[in-house]
Structure 1
Amino acid sequence: METEGTGGMAKRMKSSVGEKELALQDGSTVEVSAEDNVVTSNSELVEMEISHILEKINNFTQMVSELLESGKSMLKELSNEFEERMILIHKEQMEKWQEEIKELRALDTANEETDALLQNAIYLIQNIHGGSES
């Protein structure tokens, strides 16, 4: 970095106890600390701020990524639970209908037996009435 004594590239802007701020020709300033002789320019401060913003971007990106993974996991669990529940509902409905079919077949069998008895009764009645006429 160039200082006050090198070709007039920098001039002293203000002075405080233990610190000096220099203005450079390009419009940036340089802070000089008397305590530790550290020179920090505005460009370095801007780079530090940019670094902080980039860190925020990385943290936010990480958080979004974790939320997406968490959301995917939650949706997968919900999807699995939904699938299991739908399968259970289907199974229960199939069992109900199978029971209805079983009851209908039993009713049909009982009806067939009753019909056969009635047909036999009609045949016997017709034979009795028909046999007494001859």
Structure 2
Amino acid sequence: MESATNEASRKRKKPDVGEKQEDHISNGTIMEEITEKEQSEAIIVGSEEMEFNVSHILKKIKRFTQLVSELLESEKSMFKELSNDFEERLIMIHKEQMEKWQEEIKELRLMDASNEEATALLSNARFLLQNPFSES
């Protein structure tokens, strides 16, 4: 019998907890409504000052946004100029290097031609020295 009474009281307690949660939720809603009313009253009381402060902040936002926009545009043009300068300089360096290597190739070919002439003269001289009497 006691167990039946305990079960009945447990069953009753569960709905009580649920009711408390509902009360808490409805109290929370009421508290939110009160807070909103207080805020709207505070806004009404300080509305001119608040509007002045808000407009001041909005002006700051506008100036800052303008500054950021100008900096971005400046950065774009600066990087474009730097990019163009870099490209021109890189092309000039490439051209200068190609000219140097072309000059080196030209010098190597001249040196090779000179070496071929010297080798031919030395070969003729060696032949003459090895066979001094063959031409007479």
Please classify the TM superposition score into its range, dividing by the shorter chain length. 0.5 to 0.7
Counterpart residue identity of residue 54, structure 2: L
The one of the two structures with greater contact order (alpha-carbon pairs below 8 A, sep at least 6) is: 1
Decide which structure has greater strand share.
Answer: 1
Question: 1:106 maps to which residue?
Answer: 106
List alignment gaps of at least 5 residues for structure 1. 1-42
C-alpha offsets along residues 36-56 of structure 1, whole Å, 9 cap, x if unaligned? xxxxxxx76621111111111
C-alpha offsets along residues 4-36 of structure 1, whole Å, 9 cap, x if unaligned? xxxxxxxxxxxxxxxxxxxxxxxxxxxxxxxxx
Corresponding residue SS for 1:132: coil
Moved over 6 A (4+): none
What is the TM-score normalised by the length of structure 1? 0.64
List alignment gaps of at least 5 residues for structure 2. 1-42
Counterpart residue identity of residue 59, structure 1: K
Question: 1:92 maps to which residue?
Answer: 92
Equivalent pairs: percent with the same residue? 9
Counterpart residue identity of residue 78, structure 1: M
RMSD: 1.8
What is the TM-score normalised by the length of structure 2? 0.63
Decide which structure has greater helix share.
Answer: 2
**Equivalenced residues, count:** 93
C-alpha offsets along residues 94-127 of structure 1, whole Å, 9 cap, x if unaligned? 0111011000000000011001000110011112
Aligned mates of 2:133, 2:62 — CA distance in 1: 104
